[in-house]
Amino acid sequence: NAGVTQTPKFRVLKTGQSMTLLCAQDMNHEYMYWYRQDPGMGLRLIHYSVGEGTTAKGEVPDGYNVSRLKKQNFLLGLESAAPSQTSVYFCASNSGQGSSNEQFFGPGTRLTVL
């Protein structure tokens, strides 16, 4: 049981390049989330999904797109990377059941945009 995994772990892009970050979970969770973490700003929600085939905007969605074609995967895309998107990106998932609604986090992807 790997939990939540993210690929890649690190990436350096040039301004204008595109890339896709992959998040996978093997816990059969309905809900999945993409956050970015910046110094002094905590975690901010980019997009989230409440089930396969669904996506919704979070707090800071501009410049990002997402897809949830399979329940276990949640992809985050940057079509034209900008230096302001330099950040650490975390994926999380949640079963939506149970007593605590705990979110389980992946290890993060550190992205630098030059």
Residue from the set 18, 26, 57, 102 that interacts with another protein by CB under 8 A: 102
Contact 105, 25 (CB under 8 A): no
- Hey, what are 61's tokens? 């969605």
Nearest to 78 by CA among 19, 10, 9: 19
User: Can residue 94 be called a binding residue for another protein (CB under 8 A)?
Assistant: yes
Answer for which of 17, 45, 52, 67 binds another protein (CB under 8 A) is 45
Between 16 and 53, whose beta carbon lies closer to another protein? 53
Outline where the chain has alpha helix (H): none
Q: How far is the CB of 31 from another protein (least distance, A)?
A: 5
> For residue 87, what are the β-bridge partners?
111
Asked whether position 87 contacts another protein by CB under 8 A, the answer is no
> Nearest to residue 6, comparing CAs of 27, 21, 28?
21
Residue 54 or 80 having the CB closest to another protein? 54
CB of 80 to another protein, least distance (A): 27
Query: Contact residues for another protein (CB under 8 A)?
Result: 4, 31, 33, 35, 40-45, 48, 50, 58, 90, 92, 94, 96, 100-103, 105-108
